[in-house]
Amino acid sequence: MYVQNLGDGSLSFVIGDRIDRETSRRILKLYKTMKNSSLPGELSIYDIVPSYCSLTFHFDPLKTDCVVMEEELWPVIASQLRKAKSSSGKGKSFHIPVIYRGEDLNRVSRLTGLTVKQIIRRHTYPSYQVAMIGFRPHFPYLIGLDRKLATRRLDTPRLKICAGSVGIGGSQTGVYPEDSPGGWNIIGYTDPQLLKELSPGDTLKFCEVSRL
């Protein structure tokens, strides 16, 4: 573990060096423990943000500073990590219906060597873990994509990707919660309103449907 100073009011504790379920579980367990403790109030912390490999604390720099924050948080975090079990606790489970008629399905097929049916089967098979919410409000970063589905991003990002678009970008998959620019390969579409229920630590499965 090491600390990154992100400015006068932000401190990030880096706990892992790769994207995997175990690191994410440890971070999410730590996130829930810290969020429910008395430390945020005592240290003027107004937000705690989990990511794939780190936990970032945002605080009021007029009331404390990074040196004090690190001195106070380091022993607590180190102790919690030693106690942490492999599970971050039970989150909610969701099923997300998807119409697999995305405009980049053929591109993913060409680059991966898989048929469209194989792509759909491999995309709907895993149970994905929500590692964090970010980029846009309600955008879920998911762990669990089949390695054979990893596909490089578009050479030229689109100026607009419609809300509800299900995409693959590199080794990640996710759903656009609103209209926005983006460079992921779009393989299907779902109802973006479903994303509002997701939180870090939840799990989801994609299900193929013919209509929403």
Hey, is 30 helix, strand or coil?
Answer: helix
Asked if 10 and 43 touch (Cβ cutoff 8 Å), the reply is: no
- The answer to whether residue 35 is domain-embedded is yes
Domain count, the chain: 2
Q: Do the domain assignments include residue 133?
A: yes
Looking at the structure, do residues 78 and 97 belong to the same domain, yes or no? Answer: no
The overall average pLDDT reported for the chain is 91
Taking 90 as the threshold, does the pLDDT of residue 149 lie above it? Answer: yes
Tell me the two tokens of residue 192.
Answer: 């973006």
CA distance 158 to 177: 16
Q: For residues 125 and 120, what is the distance between their CA atoms, to the nearest angstrom?
A: 8
Domain around 37: 2-83
Same domain as 98, residue 73: no
pLDDT beyond 80 at 140: yes
> What is the CATH classification number for the domain harbouring 152?
2.40.100.10
Give yes or no: residues 129 and 49 share one domain.
Answer: no
Q: What is the pLDDT of residue 85?
A: 56
Q: Is residue 88 part of a domain?
A: no
Write the CATH number for 71.
3.30.1360.40
106 and 202 housed in the same domain: yes
Q: What is the mean pLDDT of residues 55-70?
A: 93
Q: Which amino acid is at 186?
A: I
What are residue 56's phi and psi, to 5 degrees?
-110, 135
CA within 13 Å, CB half, 2: 2
Of 66-70, 77-81, 179-183, give the lowest mean pLDDT range: 77-81
The amino acid sitting at 137 is P
Measured in Å, how far apart are the chain's first and last C-alpha atoms?
44
Residue 212 Cα distances to 136, 140, 190, 208, angstroms:
23, 20, 7, 10
**Cα Rg of the chain, angstroms:** 19
Residue 99 pLDDT > 90:
yes
